[in-house]
Amino acid sequence: MALQIGDIAPDFEAETTEGKIRFHDYIDGKWAVLFSHPKNFTPVCTTELGYTAKLKDEFAKRGVVVMGLSVDQLADHDAWAKDIEDTQGTALNFPLIADHDRKVATLYDMIHPNASDTMTVRTVFVIGPDKKVKMSMNYPASTGRNFDEILRVIDSLQLTAEHKVATPVNWKHGEDVIIVPAVSDEEAKTLYPEGWNAVRPYLRIVPQPK
């Protein structure tokens, strides 16, 4: 069965471009992004890895560590990293797993046989400090992912983990949020003494908590 939100992200040990890494040790109480690439030296993957490297500071300020995966040998990763730096203008600055035996891809259900029985789809997992899956999504090999959206989701996950709110459609950091239905009006008066906008009794809009 595929990993679901709330499941513990399976631990594994793998060879990467930054040496052998045990995944749970790599997370070590941090938020994490694990994402797969169908194959080395493919054009869409090259753009994705370069852009992710450019986002290093954005991930760092959110306390997020990143790890990529491709089903090729480590030597191929090293050669591909040079291409990524040359074509995208940023060197790879996070570990890229060499999953040539498909062990991690199988563990995380990244290979979808009706799409390809050898290459992974573009899977993304966001994993919390408790090592539980907080978000997952799958893109086909032909479509590059939106990593700005991944950052947006992380902003929402971190905010809603700390406060009793949910984020509405197309929400971005700093915009109004929704008080969750489990919070009564009496409790909300304590949490938000300046009040809220009750569009409906179940739809209570409030400025984002700081």
Burial class for 20, CB neighbours closer than 10 Å (0-12, 13-18, 19+): exposed
Catalytic one among 3, 9, 45, 49? 45
For residue 133, give every residue at least 6 positions away whose Cβ sits within 8 Å of its Cβ, in sequence order, or none.
Answer: 3, 4, 5, 6, 7, 8, 9, 125, 126, 127
Q: How far, in Å, CA of 106 to CA of 120, rounded?
A: 9
- 3-class secondary structure, 19: strand
45 is catalytic: yes
Q: How far, in Å, CA of 37 to CA of 141, rounded?
A: 8
Active site residues: 45
